[in-house]
Structure 1
Amino acid sequence: MESNANEKISCCNGMDLRMLVVVFSMVASELSHVHTRPIDFVCDSEARRMMNKVKDLQVEMVVCSAVDALPSDIKLPCIRIHKATWERKSVHEQRAEILLSLGTLAQDVRSARTLSQPGCGLTLLERLEHSINNYLHVVRLLHIELRRSHESESRGKSHHLDSGISKEKTTI
């Protein structure tokens, strides 16, 4: 177990931006499968496509030869999950894990960006940071909308319950 953790840490040393873009595209592709209501921009495939800039970043990687190595290490989020364990977690726990992973990734990309020299590598890091921040924003908004939805349902149930009770009182 400890050697596996050391392997993961050592793989991040000297990592190039190409690897980061590939990992981010895997993370981003998971969000594209989210179809939650009432957030229209998550459900709308055109809006998702506009927000998902990974393919553009990959194309620019080919053109930009200055991205052989990053100026600082970037810790990649764990993208493997055990499905049964994940499903046992509450939505709040799942959201917290996603926010923590994306937040750490954004912070590391920001650090690498501030140490980068001007050029196409810096531009790619800026765009990558912007995309990560967009996903952070979406996850935060999903939480807000879910909370509002649950509050509305709770109010509707209590109202329904109240109206049922008052009907019983009038018939007795």
Structure 2
Amino acid sequence: MCPGLLLLCMVASEVWDAETRPIDFVCDRESRRDLNTVADMEAALADCDVLKTLPSPIQLPCIKVHKASWERKSAQEKRRDIAVSLGALTGSVRVVRTLSQPGCASTLLERLEHTVNNYLHIVTHLDITGSVESPVLSCTPQSTHSLSTVLWTFSRLLTGKLEWLMADLTHRCPRR
């Protein structure tokens, strides 16, 4: 089977179920693991010889956390922090994708953009009450021309800040 066709099939199979609610994402760790396809994208990247350096840099999400400061933030602030990072990442990926030649690189960037957008949609639709302030990044943005670095950093955002936010929200989950 053609690697591009295989990758396209994988992308199509990752469409977020429109009936799934963000609270289901919070309460079901297995759903979060299933949605996290970074390892699959890293494997696809290894098979994508043409993609050594991106044509334009991608802004990396903020992943560093000062634990005490993070714990003092409200759930609204944590969500905003993650959403701003995801929004900046998806915007950067979209720009680079438009500059990429069709083929393996473009398909992988499209898959990454789709995945980041899924997470952004979920995070922004979490039912978290509190005051809405203007969004701010929790770090000085860095950027890279390496898709491998982008994938690693994105994975760290998902397994770090996002998981910590989910842990804060589990009290809303129905008892089993």
TM exceeding 0.5: yes
Where does residue 91 of structure 2 map in the other structure?
A: 107
Distance 2:66 2:30 in 1: 30
Where does residue 83 of structure 1 map in the other structure?
A: 67
Alpha-carbon distance, 1:137 to partner: 1.2
TM-score, normalised relative to structure 1:
0.58
| Equivalent runs, 1:45-84 vs 2, <5 Å | 45-84=29-68
Alpha-carbon distance, 1:91 to partner: 1.6
Where does residue 40 of structure 1 map in the other structure?
A: 24
Alpha carbons 1:71, 1:115 under 8 Å: kept: yes
Alpha-carbon distance, 1:78 to partner: 1.7
Alpha carbons 2:59, 2:89 under 8 Å: kept: yes
What amino acid is the match of 1:94? K
CA RMSD of aligned residues (A): 2.4
User: Is residue 139 from structure 1 mapped to residue 118 from structure 2 by the alignment?
Assistant: no
Which of residues 115, 126, 129 is equivalent to 2:113? 129
Alpha-carbon distance, 1:82 to partner: 0.3
Alpha-carbon distance, 1:132 to partner: 0.5
What amino acid is the match of 2:93? V
Distance 2:22 2:90 in 1: 27
Q: Could you tell which deviates more after superposition, 100-109 or 44-53?
A: 44-53
Q: Which runs of 5+ in 1 are unaligned?
A: 1-36, 147-172
Higher helix share: 1
Q: Secondary structure at the match of 1:56?
A: helix
Alpha-carbon distance, 1:145 to partner: 8.6
Alpha carbons 2:41, 2:108 under 8 Å: kept: yes
TM-score, normalised relative to structure 2:
0.57
Alpha carbons 1:38, 1:145 under 8 Å: kept: no
- Per-residue CA deviations over 1:63-110 (Å, capped at 9, x if unaligned) read 110111111111112201101111111221111111111100000000
Distance 2:123 2:129 in 1: 10
Bigger Cα Rg? 1
What amino acid is the match of 1:54? V
Alpha carbons 2:22, 2:125 under 8 Å: kept: no
Where does residue 104 of structure 2 map in the other structure?
A: 120
Alpha-carbon distance, 1:45 to partner: 3.7
Distance 1:124 1:71 in 2: 14
Distance 1:138 1:82, change over 3 A: same
Distance 2:104 2:82 in 1: 29
Q: Which has the higher relative contact order, 1 or 2, with Cα contacts under 8 A spaced 6 or more apart?
A: 2
